[in-house]
Amino acid sequence: MQTDLIQNTRVFKEFERSFNHFFEECERGFTNELIIAMYCRIYTPGKVVISYKSNVKEMYFIRQGLVEVFNNENDEIQKEKPILYLPKFSYFGDYQILSNLKSNIVFKTLSPNNDEDRGGSAEPMPDIIFMCISKNELLELCDLFPQTAENIKRRSLERRQRFMLQKNTNSKRYKDKLEQKKQNQSSTSIDNKNDGAEEMPLDEFYSDEEPENFESQKEDMKMYLNKLNKRIDTLVDALKEADTKMASMKD
């Protein structure tokens, strides 16, 4: 019944075809359940979708628009330069969820100030539309379909490696490592043909990709509540000030 619904409903069928590069190694039951469990999120241009060192709670499939990927702002050689762009029909958030990692890169909808990819168009940019699956739903499906889970986790780590190679292109930390390696090589070998230019092996995981944990999630909630309390305090102060002004006007 689910398979008939997916394959005979135009919007579901089109979605599966558009993201075939993700679904091609997935079992039919996994694909059906994932598509039915998805929901839509709409972002305006220039908004952060996943921030640096945040717990990734959703996997995103881009239905409309463009997403920019950045290093942590403290590790950029060229400030505000994206390390890559994710176009329509790309997806992200997969390897962070499947490997239980915080994000060490930033995902942001294309900024309205970035005219380079718009050909200088002055028209307002459209919203960016995602179809999403929650972390809990995705992990539950992985438990139900272990073969698919193995396939998509393997591919997610291959994607992670490509992301990290791009991250290194604009990373001060990585550049410093290369410089240090060159210095070490020159001090141990007078005739160094490679001049330190060979590719440094990627770490198994970067130091800023620490695993998610319950305490960090509690800390995220604590920060949210603190921000909420500050906004409430500001609102209360504004109401008090308004009451005082109203009372003085009556007098």
**Higher-pLDDT residue of 154, 119:** 154
- Which residue, among 187, 203, 186, 204, has the nearest Cα to 195 in the 3D structure? 186
User: Could you tell me the pTM of the whole model?
Assistant: 0.74
Q: What is the biggest distance separating any 2 CA atoms in the chain, rounded to whole angstroms?
A: 91
Residue ranges of the domains in the chain? 2-169, 213-251
CATH superfamily of 2-169: Jelly Rolls (2.60.120.10)
**Higher-pLDDT residue of 194, 186:** 186
Which pLDDT band, with edges at 50, 70 and 90, does 6 fall under? low
Residue 135 has pLDDT above 70, yes or no: yes
Q: Compute how many other C-beta atoms are within 10 angstroms of the C-beta atom of residue 57.
A: 16
200-212 b/e with 16+ CB inside 10 Å = b? eeeeeebeebeeb
Give the tens place of pLDDT for each residue, 206-237: 888 888 765 555 555 666 667 667 777 777 67
The end-to-end CA distance of the chain, in Å, is 73
Alpha carbons 153 and 25: distance in angstroms, whole number? 11
